[in-house]
Each structure stands twice: as structure tokens, then as C-alpha cells.
Structure 1
Amino acid sequence: MLFLPAYSPNLNLIERLWKFVKKECLYSRYHETFAGFTQTIDACLAQTHTTHKKALDSLLTLNFQTFGKSAIMGG
């Protein structure tokens, strides 16, 4: 289990994935129906281990800077 601050979308992996999906599949695209919209998202997610693997491997890591309790408390 990994503690995350109350609001930290940049640290939450699902938020990073959703941002990637929006950028790759949804931005500047019109979908006539809700079914078409959801199919686009499903198709993008289905390609996470193939087409998008390289981009997601670097995006979805837990390699980020953390600060110890003493740094947060000013000590």
C-alpha cells in the first residue's frame, strides 16, 4: 500500500492512464454516439500492451521524488 496525499493526480497511476487515453484517443475528436465514444476508449485500452506499451512503460512507473517526514515538517 502506498500513501498518497489527499489530492495528487500526478502520483495516482489511474489518473496518468486516463490522461494518456484522453490525449491519444479523445482530444479534438467528435463522436456521434456514446457507443462510439466508449468504443474508442475501449480500443485504446485494449492496445495498452501492444501499440501504446512503450509510452505507458515510462509513464506508469512509481519512479518519482518523495520526501521524508522530516523534510515535510521542516526538520
Structure 2
Amino acid sequence: SVTNHTYINSHSMCLLLAKLALLDPVMPISVILDNARYQKCQMVTDFAQIVDIELVYLPSYSPHLNLIERLWRFVRKECLYSKYYADF
């Protein structure tokens, strides 16, 4: 795992790819990413080619494929509908 206590940027993406490449698997590695700018920059794509990792990007708007969107939908539905509960 890669732990980051600040902002995620292209350098932290390259660190993640480097750690994945060190696993030395027998099968090719494919990493599924959304379209964040720091994931699609030239530095990350070049580094992925060097370490032989395929980067697969989700379509531009695909909330059904992005797990965090499912979480946000649940939070909006269950937590943010201004319901009053008399007790915990």
C-alpha cells in the first residue's frame, strides 16, 4: 500500500506504479483509473510504459463504474434528507 498524508499528485501516482511493478507478477498489470488530471499527465503515462503497466481510464462520466459515486448516492439518500430521529 502507498500512504499519502498530503495531496495526491503525479509523483504519488508514479510511486504507486513503482510499488506495483516491484511485485513482479507473472500476469500483466492493468490499473483502472478515473480521469483525474494527475493520472493522465505525460509523466504518469511515460512511467507506466517504462514499468510495463497498462493504464485503463473510465469513461468521462460513469458514476455506475466509480465506487465513490455509489457511496455518495447512499450518503445523500440515507443521511442528508433532513430526517429527525427522536433517539439514536
TM-score grouping bracket, smaller chain normalisation: 0.3 to 0.5
- TM-score scaled by length of structure 2: 0.30
Q: Which has the higher contact order (CA 8 A, sep 6+)?
A: 1
- TM-score scaled by length of structure 1: 0.35
Q: Kindly indicate which of the two structures has a greater share of residues assigned to helix.
A: 1
